[in-house]
Amino acid sequence: GDSGWTYIQTPEAPAVSKSNVMYSVTDQKFYLNTSSRLITTSSNFPPVSPYPRFHNEENVGLLILACRATPYLVETPSGEPLLVFWFKEMSDSDPEKSESSFIVHDLRKSCHTRDIGNLCIFLGDKNEAFCVSATDYPGLHPNSVYFGSSDSGLGFFDLASLTLHYLTDSTTPDSMWLAPLH
């Protein structure tokens, strides 16, 4: 790797400055969750690509408009790129808390999925998204998205049953997940 940061000049810098970046070990390139085209300034820098656009089903498009949706790029242990949308809707009963929902999109198959097998995806406001196998970490609920934020608390979302399970009774100001060392 490089000993320092490489500046990437983009024509639409504001869109990129708020983008999530994922480095794919499998593809050996960076992915951004923006539609901007990126120009690298170093010939030895891995290629940079925006994630492939996917067919936006009508009901997903309506959900994106109705809720605060945040996209996260994550790579499975086998190298499959996933785009996970975290939808937050403010709770009627508690204005300090939001209700969460998730949609996982398989970028290679270009479709939404409710089955990621024995995998667990971890998302948080304070950390990078990552994915692990539940069989490698006993106690994890497979086929789930674990989440952590100051307004949503800590919990997981079962993709098959579309149910939320909270791990704490209240929100915490600095919720984060620690990725395992490889």
Give per-residue pLDDT as tens, 12-35.
Answer: 544 444 456 666 677 666 666 654
pLDDT in tens, 109-164: 888 999 999 999 999 887 889 999 999 999 999 999 999 887 778 899 999 999 99
Q: For the chain, what are the domain ranges?
A: 13-50, 58-166
CA distance 54 to 86: 16
Angle at 175 between CA 169 and CA 179, to 5 degrees: 120
pLDDT at 35: 45
CA distances from 3 to 6, 9, 16, 180 (A): 9, 19, 23, 24
pLDDT of 169 over the 80 cut: no
pLDDT class of 36 with cuts at 50, 70, 90 = very low
